Amino acid sequence: DSSLKNLCSNFFRAVDLALGDTNFEHRFTRSRLNVNAMLQQMKIIANNYSIGLLIIDEIQHLNTKKSGGAEIILNFFVTLVNVASIPIVMIGTPKANEILQEDLRSARRSAGLGSLIWEPMRNEAPTPDLSTPDQMIISEWYAFTNTLWQYQWVQQPAELTDELRNTWYYYTQGIPDLVVKLFCLMQIHAITIGLEKITSELFKKVYEEQLQPVHDILDALRSGNPTRIARYSDLTIPQVQIEEYVEQQRFKAALKTEIQRKDLGPHYSTLIGMLTAFDYPAATIEQYVTSTLKRYPNEKLKTLFQHILDVLDSPVAEDKFKQHQTTTLARKPRTSRKVMKPEEWKSTEANDLRNFFSQAQEKEVDVYELLKSSHYLFDPTSPVLH
């Protein structure tokens, strides 16, 4: 009920959860003790179990009416510090100032407890270090973004320019939670659509599509108007579910592939699977398979496969591969061995999948049935399992 008594109950519950074999919440909340009596029990528990630090989060939710007013709440915290004799950290949104600094006397007492206002980072450029002329003093914003920028997952990592950094700040206003989430969401989007790089336009697109709940808050911060900012003093940043966004993007990509597969005929998935075994970039495989099927929609699988291999082995495609390799991180080295053409698959070893595929083409049977009859596929209905 957001009262001081409920705060004490939460303390007993937290101790019970930490220790596991106590029952303080039941003992002290069901006995109808008043707040002062609970405070004494908190002191005893803190001393008996050597509690080194008490953290009280979301203190802005304390109800001043149910607790007897802001002065009563402040007296409670001061008494708690004195009685329990342990450090106490109170965390809350700016609305907590209504409790801790309602009047001048309360402001002085709360300041005596010690306070720190955690503001958004400021977009400040590095400044010269007067003590060391050759050195620059890096601002918190620059240090934070420089470190975060190292974690680019896209295939074409970009340099963090002033334009990108300023755009990043504009759409997050230096709020750490949003800075990290926009960075993650933007890369997920870039990878999903095949862009594979970070741009200023991408910052804007992802901000407009995925961070709509915080637009009003950020607009107020950009205005610098204290009156507008005060309207959102108690608003927490809405949770952006990155995992849910990733699943949505995966579903969209899978749906797009499925639609494309159906439009291009039954050979699409087979060709993609066969070519993936070779060391060609996935995006290139999809591009050439799609264009080939559109150009030759009625050709046989073997002819289509041979045509795509010829294109992939051409000098033009090879130049594209080299360019792709120079811009891809953690890419496996491309082997220089010659790719064996389908008509040469007969010469492979008997247990080579390509050999089976060649036999299936000659016998005009399904390669699955050939593998099954050769006992290379395990039968789940086999008596061995029973």
CB 50 within 8 A of CB 84: no
The pTM (predicted TM-score) of the whole model is 0.53
Report the pLDDT value the prediction gives residue 112, as an integer from 0 to 100. 53
Q: Could you tell me which residue, 149 or 115, shows the higher pLDDT?
A: 149
Mean pLDDT of 124-151: 88
- pLDDT > 90: percent of the chain: 23
Burial of 84: CB neighbours in 10 Å, binned 0-12, 13-18, 19+: buried
Comparing CA positions, the residue from 148, 147, 214 lying closest to residue 187 is 148
Q: Is the pLDDT of residue 318 over 60?
A: no
Comparing CA positions, the residue from 263, 257, 318, 315 lying closest to residue 293 is 263
55, β-bridge pairs:
89
Q: Could you tell me which residue, 184 or 344, shows the higher pLDDT?
A: 184
Report the pLDDT value the prediction gives residue 262, as an integer from 0 to 100. 58
Q: Could you tell me which residue, 166 or 230, shows the higher pLDDT?
A: 166
Q: Is the pLDDT of residue 142 over 90?
A: yes
135: confidence class by pLDDT, cuts 50, 70, 90: confident
Q: Could you tell me which residue, 358 or 145, shows the higher pLDDT?
A: 145
